[in-house]
Amino acid sequence: MANTLLLNSVDHKDLKVITERSPQYGDDIWYALTFPSEYRSVQAHYPIFYQKDPTTGEFYAVALFGFKDKENLFIDQGKWTVSYIPLTVQRQPFLIGKRTGVEDGVEVEQRVLHIDMDNPRVNTEKGEALFLEYGGNTEFLDNAADMLEAIHHGLEESKAFTATLLAHDLLEPFTLEVTLDSGATHQMIGFYTINEDVLQALDSDIVAQLHQSGFLQAIYMMVASQNNIRELLNRKNALSPELQS
């Protein structure tokens, strides 16, 4: 379990966050959560699929980085090798917390910035400082707060988007089977993608509603992202044969 604390400039004035990209800092992930307002940036590099939580039955969208657990084909020598990193990856080691506050005499729930002290990026020796020498947030910390706010709103938006996909039967199961140059094979199951036949057969009024809500563009971003499977395969084939299994 994460050791999360509410950030403050007194107790955490010396904290720093390492921004290098490496498995030792938790970047050995083969997919990450994403959401519709991010799809335009994500689809430029990664396939976007849905998964279904086996416990809750909830559907959620992910950007795919590899073909198996602990495989991220976009990490090389401390760098992420494409220009866009999904926000749910970038935000590490920060999280959104909630607390009750008072605004204009009314008790309200406020979102506040937390940090996972057990995250390997967190230290006091190197990396990006969180607070200025004489108090106040650094630009790095302000950017992290903005990022978390974008994630919060994006995931809220994603609920409505996903409900719309399900209401119109636009998700279908998808199994990916690939054979590498080395002869190794990988089969990925449990993913869902857009049912393009159903999409093409939608009533014009429904298409208009999807367009008006901004969901139609997100749907086509998902469809376009499937072309990145080939790029994933190329990255996998570029590995030495012993790493392709």
β pairing state of 4-6 and 106-116: antiparallel
pLDDT the model gives residue 134: 82
* Cα distances (angstroms) measured from residue 24 to each of 47, 120, 235: 24, 8, 21
Average pLDDT for residues 69-81, to the nearest whole number? Answer: 93
| pLDDT exceeds 80 at position 147 | yes
DSSP 32: E
**Short-list 82, 64, 76, CA closest to 178:** 64
What pLDDT score does 101 carry?
A: 65
Residue 209 pLDDT > 80, yes or no? yes
For 6-21, b where at least 16 C-beta lie within 10 A, e where not — what string? ebeeeebeebbbbeeb
Q: Is the pLDDT of residue 1 over 70?
A: no
Q: What are phi and psi of 93, to 5 degrees?
A: -105, 30
Return the bridge partners of 185, or none: 179
What residues does each domain of the chain span?
Answer: 4-243
- 172 has which bridge partners? 193
**Which percentage of the chain shows pLDDT scores above 90?**
77
- What local confidence, expressed as pLDDT, does residue 102 receive? 63
**128-150 burial: b if 16+ Cβ within 10 Å, else e:** bbbbeeeeebeeebeebbeebee
